[in-house]
Chains A and B, each alone.
Chain A
Amino acid sequence: DIQMTQSPSSLSASVGDRATFTCRASQSISTYLNWYQQKPGKAPEVLIYGASNVQSGVPSRFSGSGSGTDFTLTISSLQAEDFATYYCQQSYSVSWTFGQGTKVEI
């Protein structure tokens, strides 16, 4: 199985900050990388698919980049509602695997 590693595991930030976190795959997955946001007690929601494609309805402050094994999710200006946990997930090969998550805290 393809292993996904996210860093950092947690990040302290303030409203208005730029936040960047990374995801690394154990082998090349081209651009088959998705990002999800999960708030406490809620189901995840997709933000980015195909490494850089923003899901419809997701604010433009979210962007993704990368290919091969290294990927980045960037929030250009953190809003209060962005404090959550973010997961990457590869869709290159079944079984789909997730990273362990990055928690963004105030």
Chain B
Amino acid sequence: EVQLVESGGGLVQPGGSLRLSCAASGFTFSSYWMTWVRQAPGKGLEWVANINQDGGEKNYEDSVKGRFSISRDNVKNSLYLQMNSLRAEDTAVYYCAKDRRIAVPDTRPYWYFDLWGRGTLVTVSS
């Protein structure tokens, strides 16, 4: 079955750390960019970070730069998000998502998220 399963969420104090994992199955994980997206309680979606196929290219949303680190293990078919110096505003459900790239003639490709996990809740509170 094609799926993504997140784990590692929980309650952590402000300033603490947490490592999220996302286990992929049913597709060739090493062939795709992967992304973390979060959603604060009752709020909208926020892109957090993404990583290319071999882990050599990473991008981060400004508010998490320097605190979060995205990585992957293509042997274990797993994506990770190391979160340090956590703040109350990082409280959210964190989703991992598979990026889909569609080639467009003579211009840049389309990108979208075609597979999502069910999410893992991170609560930052004292």
Q: Residues on A close to B: CB < 8 A?
A: 1, 30-32, 34, 36, 38, 42-46, 49-50, 53, 55, 87, 89, 91, 94-101
Contact = CB atoms under 8 A, between A and B. Distances in A.
B111 interface: yes
Interface stretch (B20-28, B80-88, B115-123): B115-123
11 contacts: A34-B113, A38-B45, A44-B45, A44-B113, A44-B116, A50-B102, A50-B104, A89-B112, A96-B111, A98-B45, A98-B47
B117 A43 contact: yes
Given A43-B95, A98-B44, 5 more contacts: A30-B107, A34-B112, A43-B117, A50-B104, A53-B110
Interface of B: 35, 44-47, 50, 59-62, 95, 100, 102, 104, 107-108, 110-114, 116-119
Contact of A43 (B50, B111, B118): B118
List the 4 shortest-distance A-B pairs measured between CB atoms, nearest first: A43-B116, A91-B111, A49-B112, A50-B110
Contacts of B100: 49
Contact of A95 (B59, B107, B110, B119): B59
A99 B47 contact: no
A2 to B, nearest CB: 11
Contacts of A1: 62
B60 to A, nearest CB: 8
Contacts of A31: 110
Contacts of A91: 110-112
Contacts of A46: 112-114
A90 to B, nearest CB: 10
Most interface-central of A36, A43, A94 (chain B CB within 10 A): A43
Nearest to B4: A43
A64 B60 CA distance: 29
Most interface-central of A1, A87, A95, A101 (chain B CB within 10 A): A95
B110 A94 contact: no
Contacts of B35: 96
A36 B44 CA distance: 12
Contacts of A53: 102, 110
